[in-house]
Amino acid sequence: MATKLKELVNLIEPGTPLTTNDLAAMGISADLAVHYVKAGWLTRLARGVYCRPNAPLDQNAALLLLQRRIPGLHVGGKSALEWYGIRHYVKQTPILNLYGWSAAQLPPWFTSRFSATYHRKRIFTETVDNLLYVGNFENRMNGPAISAPERALLEMLSEIGVRQPLTEAEEILEGTYTFRAGILRTLLENCTSVKTVRLCIQLGNSKSLPWAKKLNPADLPTGSKTDWISRSANGLMVLKP
């Protein structure tokens, strides 16, 4: 038992959540885990989830665990842009926007510590095992999955009229001056949301952004030749073809 406890202390970083399977892989049975909890060597976060005591839960480590449970989970939209330093203003308590492939709920042990929302989002032609332009944050092996800036922009635009105010999105867009037109073109070619495609083109041109000038609407899935019209709490939105 002492050897296993030493391994637990030495190999697991403080703040890293562990599942029952993780502990079992270290030779720590469910019964032994209960003993460790009673002895104060482990803290039980929820059924089957533990961490070392006396350390705040690490957000990135928690996200890595959630990625193993929710297919396609990644930091996206406005949150991803904020992680890259592209923002309108800094909120005192920013909400972490998480997206995934399937309908799911974030566990209470996570949401009680981090202000976050999760939404199933499929606006690209892709597979859950090969999401377009989603990779580890800062290319670190232990970095949580996150959208590339260009994908994050389209994810944010897809929320306009639903959860994302248009005026804020327009101001955030001003920070996308150096975005890569080639990546945006690939994403837009594979985008299944006409609203998102049209918003990207029209807002990019209205801000005279360099990447927008390199996109040819005729080559992108902008839908029919009629106006796209939607009414939301923010008013009537009309997008030209």
Helix, strand and coil percent figures for the chain, each rounded to 5: 40, 20, 40
Percentage of residues of the chain with pLDDT beyond 90: 66
Residues 188 and 154 sit within 8 Å (Cβ to Cβ): yes
CA angle, residues 193, 161, 228, in degrees to nearest 5: 50
pLDDT of residue 158: 95
- The pLDDT tens digits of the residues spanning 125-139 come to 999 999 999 999 998
- How is residue 42 annotated by DSSP? S
- The pLDDT tens digits of the residues spanning 76-86 come to 999 999 999 99
- The pLDDT tens digits of the residues spanning 201-220 come to 999 999 999 999 999 999 99
Helix (H) or strand (E) holding 60: helix 59-69
Confidence of residue 69 (pLDDT cuts 50, 70, 90): very high
- The pLDDT tens digits of the residues spanning 18-60 come to 999 998 888 888 888 888 888 888 899 999 999 988 889 999 9
Token pair of 68 as six digits: 């193993």
CA distances from 20 to 27, 34, 62 (A): 11, 11, 15
